Amino acid sequence: MRYLHTMVRVSNIQKSIKFFEMLGMSEIRRRDSEKGRFTNVHLAAKDDAETAKSVRAPTLELTYNWDPEEMDVGRAFGHLAFEFDDLYEICQTLMDNGITINRPPRDGHMAFIKTPDGISIELLQKGKSLTVQEPWASMKNTGSW
């Protein structure tokens, strides 16, 4: 048994792809179904792109149903986690693009943001935590994640 992907539903496919591209993911596979009236897009994180192409894992599957539906948020699902070479750099990129850092990386180790449809994303520093530094160290939490 082998992990393949996690699927999340999205209300706006273009907006969601743009969001994940900002994090460093890229589209590796797409399927449009006229009959099922949906589009599936598989995205892979930069360092997973090679295995995502060869063994189809690990990927993030976005499902876009062509007929609008309400994307309510449940408590059973928690988050998706990715590691980054420089946590401060990715958080700065996100802020520059108008994304709220719900849990800023005060500790140089961990941050949380949300996708346009309210899916929590945990951002973790690869290897050892970065040195605690401003403006992150004194940045307060915003909302929930």
Partner 1 sequence: MKYLHTMIRVSNLDATINFFVSNFGMVETRRIDSEKGRFTIVFLAASEDVENANTHQSPVLELTHNWDPEEYTGGRNFGHLAYAVDNIYESCQTLMDNSVTINRPPRDGRMAFIQTPDGISIELLQKGDSLPKQEPWASMENTGNW
Q: Which residues bind partner 1 (CB under 8 A)?
A: 1-10, 23-25, 44-48, 56-61, 63, 69-85, 90, 117-119, 122, 124, 126
Residue 24, token pair as written in the block = 């460093």
Catalytic position from the list 34, 50, 61, 122: 122
Neighbours of 91 (CB within 10 A): 21
Q: Check if 122 is active-site.
A: yes
8 A C-beta contact, residue 113 and residue 22: no
Q: Which is nearer to partner 1, 75 or 140 (CB)?
A: 75
Q: Cα-flanking dihedrals φ and ψ of residue 58, to 5°?
A: -85, 140
**Sole residue written with tokens 């295995």:** 51
User: Could you tell me the smallest distance in angstroms from the CB atom of residue 29 to partner 1?
Assistant: 13
Q: Which is nearer to partner 1, 87 or 104 (CB)?
A: 87
Q: Which is nearer to partner 1, 70 or 134 (CB)?
A: 70
User: Could you tell me the smallest distance in angstroms from the CB atom of residue 50 to partner 1?
Assistant: 11
Least Cα distance to 114 among 105, 126, 122, 106 occurs for 122
8 A C-beta contact, residue 108 and residue 4: no
User: Could you tell me the smallest distance in angstroms from the CB atom of residue 75 to partner 1?
Assistant: 5
